[in-house]
Amino acid sequence: MTALNHTGVSHTVFRLLGIPGLEDQHMWISIPFFISYIIALVGNSLLIFIILTKRSLHEPMYLFLSMLAGTDIVLSMCTVPQALAIYWFHAGKISLNCCIAQVFFLTSTFMSESGILLVMAFDRYIAICYPLRYTAILTHALIGKIGATIFLRSYGTVFPVIFLLKRLTFCKSNIIPNTTCKHIVLAKISCNDIRVNIWYGFFVLMSTLVLDVVLVFVSYMLILRAVFRIPSRDARHKALNTCGSHVCVIILFYGPGIFSVLTQRFGRHIALHIHVLLANVYTLIPPVLNPIIYGIRTKQIRDLVVCCFQNRNDFNNRN
């Protein structure tokens, strides 16, 4: 409050710098960002379209995959358009309310994706350990309830962040050295004690991402124990192969994120633009590569994609 009286202002409009120190390279940086964004939108939209229109893919695994693809679309739309606006038009101005909304949707989408990956690990456990009861356990009604629970958990956990940010007085600066608004980055430019924000951010991290990682690890320990009890070598290989795509996606989602957190925590001598670039790449890699991985490694999806393009080519040739 003292700081507010001293400055007489609390900023309601902020300026996102993009990648600090690399402003002259923004146009070049925007090229891979734009290409990746288009690939993410097209790839995930195609995946959702194929799964929803083909009755043969209305199985639990593919329904969870369509949820993941939808979350990837939202995740890329939360970050890339804002970054491209900064790179191309220097349009970095953003209001406080829009900034807080971006924090809310970006964080909750991350939580949702983590929850979906956990449920997909549970799906693989049921498919391998209880194959005869797979569809009886994972009914469409249960899948709908699981999906609703994932999103309610994500939005409910992040919702208090709105009030934690709204209570702050931003009298230090209105410059945010990033391409997107983030909870602690925004809180750090306030004049208030932000220990509550820091501790709540830690609680969100531990109760969602860290807990999900532990449960995914436990799921795969149970899966491996069940797989290695299968007497047939071919059956073991087939069972493990069904988990391959999911393991790749897990590594792509959690790997860069853990690396980014470690560099921010221990890499104090690393340039700021490296931290920002890592954070941007972290939000872009899963939406781009997830549909490619599942499209290549899942025979049913791969065959349907090829069939769609062949039918389109045949139609064009006839015309």
CA distances from 86 to 26, 149, 285 (A): 8, 35, 20
Order across the sheet with 93-95: list the strands: 93-95, 13-16, 175-176
pLDDT at 21: 84
pLDDT at 314: 55
pLDDT at 100: 96
Closest to 125 in 3D by CA, of 112, 138, 141, 113: 138
Tokens of 250: 């897990």
pLDDT at 310: 66
pLDDT at 149: 96
pLDDT at 5: 44
Per-residue pLDDT of the chain (319 residues; tens, 9 = 90+): 444 444 557 889 999 999 988 888 899 999 999 999 999 999 999 999 989 988 888 899 999 999 999 999 999 999 899 999 999 998 989 999 999 999 999 999 999 999 999 999 999 999 998 888 998 999 999 999 999 999 999 999 999 999 999 999 998 889 998 999 989 889 989 999 999 999 999 999 899 989 999 999 999 999 999 888 888 888 788 878 878 888 989 998 988 777 776 676 666 677 888 888 888 888 888 999 998 888 777 777 777 777 766 665 555 556 5
C-alpha dihedral sign at 292, 297, 300, 302? positive
Ordered structural domains, the chain, with CATH: 13-305 (1.20.1070.10)
Residue 172 burial (10 A CB sphere; 0-12, 13-18, 19+):
middle
pLDDT at 107: 93
Beta-sheet pairing, 175-176 with 13-16: parallel
Tokens of 25: 């390279």
pTM of the model: 0.90
Closest to 84 in 3D by CA, of 10, 6, 4, 19: 19
Tokens of 297: 């490694």
CA angle centred on 260, ends 254 and 262, rounded to 5°: 100
CA-atom Rg of the chain in angstroms: 22
